[in-house]
């Protein structure tokens, strides 16, 4: 059972890495933030279109390892249609899930659970959380920003 689940999780990660969702530029995005993880070399630019506190559209560009690409691809999918505070709440659930700090609401994280396995690999945690730290910066700041995990 556990092995099957792990295979399924890997399948989802491979799929999002091979065929990333929302891999495009949003022209005139309301937020545009660059994220960089020097530990692995993952780079991404996150674009958000926020209308009246709701994330109407989310996309990204950049290049990174399979974990970082799958993570940002899954993230742009899941945050679309969510309010800024719902997205912040998801960030905190995702952070807990990858660092095991406290109880995680697995129902809330949904498909993101495929990345729970990174917690056993500290170097990969930053690959998985890069997208979310970039999102956090995007939600807290207007205009162009850039962040680094180091
Ligand atoms: Zn990486």
Could you report the per-residue pLDDT of 62-115, keeping only the tens digit for each? 999 999 999 999 999 999 999 999 999 999 999 999 987 678 888 888 889 899
Compute the distance from residue 28 Cα to the ligand 1 centre, in Å. Answer: 28
> Is 70 exceeded by the pLDDT of residue 130?
yes
pTM recorded for the entire structure: 0.91
Burial of 43 (0-12, 13-18, 19+ CB in 10 A): middle
Compute the distance from residue 70 Cα to the ligand 1 centre, in Å. Answer: 10
Ranges of H-type helices in the chain: 2-18, 66-79, 84-99, 106-109, 122-140
Surrounding residues of ion ligand 1, Cβ less than 5 A: 40, 42, 65, 68, 127
Banded pLDDT at 119 (limits 50, 70, 90): confident
Residue 2's pLDDT is 55
Instruction: Return the closest-CA partner of residue 121 out of 43, 70, 67.
Output: 67
Supply 116's token pair: 């729970």
Distance CA 69, CA 85 (A): 24
In terms of phi and psi (left: phi > 0; alpha: psi -120 to 50; beta: otherwise), the region of 46 is beta
Distance CA 54, CA 69 (A): 24
> Is 70 exceeded by the pLDDT of residue 28?
yes
> Is 60 exceeded by the pLDDT of residue 1?
no
Compute the distance from residue 40 Cα to the ligand 1 centre, in Å. Answer: 5
> Is 80 exceeded by the pLDDT of residue 135?
yes
Compute the distance from residue 81 Cα to the ligand 1 centre, in Å. Answer: 27
The residue among 2 and 88 whose pLDDT is bigger is 88
Compute the distance from residue 108 Cα to the ligand 1 centre, in Å. Answer: 25
Burial of 104 (0-12, 13-18, 19+ CB in 10 A): buried
Mean pLDDT of 51-66: 97
Beta strands 42-51 and 31-37: pairing type? antiparallel
């Amino acid at each position: 059972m556990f092995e099957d689940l792990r295979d399924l999780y890997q399948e989802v990660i491979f799929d999002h890495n091979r065929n990333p969702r929302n891999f495009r530029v949003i022209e005139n995005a309301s937020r545009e933030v660059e994220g960089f993880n020097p530990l692995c070399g993952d780079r991404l630019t996150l674009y958000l279109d926020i209308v009246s506190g709701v994330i109407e559209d989310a996309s990204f560009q950049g290049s990174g390892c399979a974990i970082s690409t799958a993570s940002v691809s899954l993230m742009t999918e899941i945050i679309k249609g969510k309010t800024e505070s719902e997205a912040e709440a998801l960030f905190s659930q995702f952070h807990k899930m990858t660092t095991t700090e406290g109880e995680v609401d697995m129902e809330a994280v949904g498909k993101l659970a495929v990345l729970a396995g990174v917690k056993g690999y500290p170097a990969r945690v930053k690959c998985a959380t890069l997208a979310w730290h970039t999102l956090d910066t995007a939600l807290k700041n207007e205009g162009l920003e850039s962040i680094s995990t180091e």
